[in-house]
Amino acid sequence: MEKKINVPIKNESVADLKIGDVISLTGNILTARDQAHKRILEEGAPRDIEGAAIFHAGPIIKEEGEDYKMVAIGPTTSMRMNPYQSDVIAMGAKIVIGKGGMDDSVREALVENEAVYVVATGGCAALYVDAVEEIESVDWLDLGMPEAIWNLKVKDFGPLIVAMDSKGNSLYD
């Protein structure tokens, strides 16, 4: 049974989620790849990431005048964020979305900060885009569209599978 979670995480907790659980997210998620993670650590986050869900994704975006339209959004390989992810989790992120797993430093950060790593299925970019209701804003567009931080309003974004939980368990073991 799919568990529905509102993001950013405020009064809810992800501590009861365990590996193998299937979830969907409603609220706002932020995209961030390696260059955005690096800049978050160097300059601070451009917006509050307390309770955030951060999606390792480089979406395909179409400019329409001064507006943007989401064309496709799928996960990118999470291990590229290993050098930065633990510190970003310590800044308050509660859900990390990606593919392929992360290292033991991230596992430890998930436990220390009561957070989870969930996987999105690669190849489902067209499916996931249907859950994006609106692009609310973009930060650091100077990094390029795939590397910018996109603030997305989503409804029932998923299915996502808990791959690393806040108790130190991992589907990759």
Longest Cα–Cα distance of the chain, Å, equals: 47
Query: Cα-flanking dihedrals φ and ψ of residue 149, to 5°?
Result: -95, 115
Q: Are 123 and 103 in contact (CB under 8 A)?
A: no
Three-state secondary-structure class, residue 15:
coil
93, with CB counted inside 10 A (0-12, 13-18, 19+), is buried
Assess whether 37 carries a catalytic annotation: yes
| Catalytic pick among 33, 37, 94, 107 | 37
Catalytic residues: 37
